[in-house]
Structure 1
Amino acid sequence: MTARNVDTSVVATIAAALAVVLSATAFSGVLADARWVLPAACTVGIIAGVGVLGRSQRWWPVATALAQLAALMMVLATQFSGKAVLGFLPGPAAFGELADQLGLALDLVREGVPPVPAEPQLQCLVCLGLGVVAVFVDVIAVAGGAPAVAGLVLLCVFAIPASLADNMLPWWSFAAGALGFALLLASGGPQRRWQRRERGDTVAGTLFGRTTTAVAGVAAVIALLTGSVFTGVGTEGRLPGAGTAGFGGTGGGIGLQPFTSLRGQLDRSRTVDLFRVRGLTQETYLRALTLRKFNPQKGWELDGLTQGVDAQQELPLPDGTEYAVGTPMKVDIEPLGYRDPWLPVFGTPTVVGGMGPDWRYDPAAGIVFTQTRQQSRPYSEQLFVPSPTPEQLREAGGPVRIDPAYLDTSGIPPQVADLAKRLTAGAPTDFDKAAALNHYFTDPANGFDYELETAPPTGGDGLSDFLFRGKRGYCEQFASSMAVLLRASGIPSRVAVGFTSGYRDGDSRVITTDDAHAWVEAYFPGWGWTTFDPTPLDDGRTALPEYLHQERQPQALPPPPGQNTPAPPPPSGQVPQPGQPETGDQHIADQPQERETAPAVWPLVLLLVVVLALLAATPAGVREARRRLRLRAVDAGAPDSAELAWRELLDEFWDRGSKPEDTDTARRVAAGLVEQHALDAEGSRAVRELVTSVEKQWYGPGDGVPDDSVRTSLREAVDSLHRSEPLSWQARLLPRSVLGLLGRG
Structure 2
Amino acid sequence: MRLPIAAGAATGAVAITLYPLFQGGAWFWASLGVILVVTGVGVLATRYTLPTWLAPLAQLLAVWIYLTAVFTGDEAWARVVPTKESLFGLAKLVVLGFDDIQRFAVPVPDNPGIVLLTCGGIGMIAIMVDFCSARLRRSALAGLPLLSLFVVPASFLSDPLSWVAVIIGALGFLGLLAADGQERVSHWGRAVLVRRTPSFVAPRPAADPGTLRLSGKRVGFTAIALAILLPSLLPTLEPDPLFGFGVGNGNGKGGNSISVPNPIVNLRGELSLPANSTVLTYSSSDNLPRYLRLYSLDNFDGEQWTMPETRGRPDDLISDGPLPPPPGQGPSVPTSPVNLEITVSEEVRNMNFLPLPYPASRIRIEGDWRPDRDTLMVFSTRDTAGGLTYQVVSQEPRPEAEQLKDAGPVPQAIAQRYLALPENLPREVADKAREVTEAGDTPYEKAVKLQEFFTTTGGFSYTLATQGHDGPALTDFLLNSRAGYCEQFAAAMAVLARVVDIPSRVAIGYTGGTNVSGRWNVRTHDSHAWPELYFEGAGWLRFEPTPSGPAGQGTAARPAYTLPELPTAGSDEPTSQPSAGPTGSDTPTGAATNPRNPLLDRDFGGAPIVVDEGMPMAAKIGIGAVFALLLLLIPAILRWEKRARRRRVYSRPAVVVEPAAQGGGQDTGLVAVRSNRGQAGVTAAWAEFDDALCDYGISREPSESPRALARRLSERYEFAPEAAASMAKLAEAVERMLFARTPAETGSLREDVRLVRRALAATVSRGRRIRAVLLPPSTLLRARRLGARVLDGFDRLENIRISRPARRNA
Band of TM-score, shorter chain: 0.3 to 0.5
The structure whose RCO (Cα within 8 Å, separation 6+) is larger is 1
What is the TM-score with the length of structure 1 in the denominator? 0.44
